[in-house]
Structure formats: structure tokens, C-alpha cells
Amino acid sequence: MLENCRLCPRACGINRTAGQTGFCRAPLKPKVARASLHFWEEPCLSGDQGSGAVFFSHCNLKCIYCQNYRISQDHYGREVDIPTLAAIFLSLERKGAHNINLVSPTPYIPQVAAAIKKARSAGLQIPVVYNSNAYEEVSALAHLEGLVDIYLPDLKYALPESAGEFSGAPDYFAVATKAILEMYRQVGLPSFDKNGLMTRGLIIRHLVLPGQLANTYHVLNWIAGNLPREVCLSLMAQYLPTYRAVYKPPLNRRLTKREYNRAVDILLNLGLEFGYVQELTAADECYVPPFDGTGVPGIF
């Protein structure tokens, strides 16, 4: 798979085992920028002890507003082998994490799958969360069946003009919706333990962007028309103009209360009441973790 890399829809076809890099510039070994307890995911994931977030470097999108641009676009991180990655998972479990939260793992699906298997053979018990931009290849996701318990994809846009201009992927919606249907096929309807923590299922995130309510309308309509109402939806208000978006109207401003309230109205009118909404106060840089190598063995 890595000798002719087609892990994502870019289908670069490069030989990563020979040191070649494609669109995402990811190396052969997984590159990790931070592994720590994270308390700012949805409540059913963070709980009171935190989600065990493992932040991977590199990305197959070029979002001009990415809050994690230091790792997605600037590629900060350290390469680790599969045994080390498995050890990171086990370490987070020992620290009390409710789950292992794989943040942007797409460029490393085979290595991540191997690390999950190795960690589970060594005793890993907590659920595994696959936290992704949803710009995924269905055939690659198939390798995660039985290994991932919870899928946490974005559904960013419906309109190709926006997806192309803001993320460099005009085919985003067609690709992401197929990927999300595959994720749902694998994990089904949500399940929770006695403490309200999700143990299995799908949570779809949609970040409301300033000036982009047309995208929100079409995204929410697609969810309502193609998935059961019991699928969890997280309608996010935490947009901050950052990275290259500070030069790109209308993304160079914050979301207004009126815009977000309109998005919530669309949500409720469609009967999508199972999930989460946010306060505009969620748009704060304090919720962006410091990518400082915490929890990753070795010297940066």
C-alpha cells in the first residue's frame, strides 16, 4: 500500500518506502507532535479524565484557516516506529484516558492499524477514536474495520467552490460523504457506558464558517437525508481567523451570533437534535493545544 501510496483521494502513487513524499509530504514513519490528555473534545469523549489525543503531523488538505497549521502544514513533529506508537497508546491509557484519540491519522493508516493491534495484544482496553477531516479513501478505511470504535469526521463543505478555495479539494463533499457512510457502516449507531461516555459510534463535526451558511445548510440537509437521526452531530462555533485566513475575506473575521443562531435553527428544523452545540466563547486560542512534543519519546 505504501509502495504506491493511494491512502487518500489524492492518489499520489509515490513510493513512501523509498523515501518519496506526495501531496501531504508525510514520511514513511508516523510523525507525532503531541500525545496527552485532552479535555476539549465533545463531552462524551473527554469525560472528566480526558481523551488520549495523539496529534499526527501532515495533512492531505490545505485549509487556509487550520488552527493546527503548525503540524498540518508546517509539519512539526517526531517520527516514531510502530512499537513506540503502541507504547504511546498504552501510556495514555495508564494516565486515565477514556479513549485513544487519533487526530489526523490519514497519512499513516497501515502503521496506525498495526500499532492498534500491537497495543491491544499488550492489553489496551479503551475505545479508539479516528478523528479525521473525512477526505478519506473508502478502500483505506476498510483496513480499520474492527480496530476503530468511534469515528469523529468533519463534514466541512458541500459546495465545491468553497472546498477548492479554502482547502484545495473541490471534490471534498463527494469524497467525504462516501467516507462518512463507510464509517457509519463500520460502527453503526452510538453506544454509551453508564457514565455517558461513547464506546462506539459516529460523531459528525461541522464547523460553521463566517459567510458560509449555504455550506452549512447543504451539509446538514445531507446528514438528515442520508443517516439516522440518532447519529451524533457536533455543530461547532469555535472558528477563529488564523493562518492564511487572516488575509481572506470573509474568513478573516469571527463568526457572528446571528450566523451561528441561524445554523442552529437549520439544525433543529431538520430534526437533528442528537448531539452538541457550542457557545461563541468556544472561539478562543486557549483551546488549541501547544504542539511541544509532550508525550512523544525522543528529543525535538
pLDDT score recorded for residue 110: 98
> With 80 as the cut, is the pLDDT of residue 300 above it?
no
pLDDT (tens digit, 9 = 90+) per residue, 61-77?
A: 999 999 999 999 999 99
pLDDT for the residue numbered 286: 82
DSSP string, 241-275: --GGGGGSTTTTSPPPHHHHHHHHHHHHHTT--SE
Strands 100-103 and 51-56, bridge-based pairing: parallel
Q: How many residues does the chain have?
A: 300
For residue 71, the model assigns a pLDDT of 97
Is the pTM value of this prediction over 0.85? yes
Please state, for a pLDDT cut of 90, what percent of the chain lies above it: 94
pLDDT digits 0-9 by tens, 92-127 = 999 999 999 999 999 999 999 999 999 999 999 999
Q: Is the pLDDT score of 294 beyond 90?
A: yes
With a pLDDT cut of 70, the percent of the chain lying above it is 99
Determine phi and psi for 275, rounding to 5 degrees.
Answer: 155, -140
Binding site members: 59, 63, 66
Q: What is the mean pLDDT of residues 266-282?
A: 93
pLDDT at 244 exceeding the cut of 90 = yes
Q: What is the mean pLDDT of residues 221-232?
A: 96
Here the cell at position 131 is 478523528
Q: What is d(CA 204, CA 145) in angstroms, rounded to the nearest whole number?
A: 18
Average pLDDT on 157-172 reads 98
> Residue ranges for the binding site for [4Fe-4S] cluster?
59, 63, 66
Give Cα separations from 254 to 42, 220, 243 (angstroms). Answer: 21, 21, 14
User: What domains can be seen in the chain, in order of their start residue?
Assistant: 29-287 (3.20.20.70)
Give backbone dihedrals phi and psi of 232, rounded to 5 degrees, phi first.
-80, 135
Partners of 153 in the β-ladder: 132
Residue type, 40: W
Q: Does residue 289 or residue 63 have the better pLDDT?
A: 63
Q: What is the pLDDT of residue 299?
A: 55
Give the separation between CA 154 and CA 65, rounded to whole angstroms.
Answer: 14
Chain mean pLDDT for the chain: 97
236 pLDDT above the threshold of 60: yes
C-alpha cell recorded at residue 43: 463531552
User: In sequence order, which residues have a C-beta less than 8 Å from that of residue 33 and are 6 or more positions away?
Assistant: 55, 56, 57, 70, 71, 76, 77, 78, 291, 293, 296
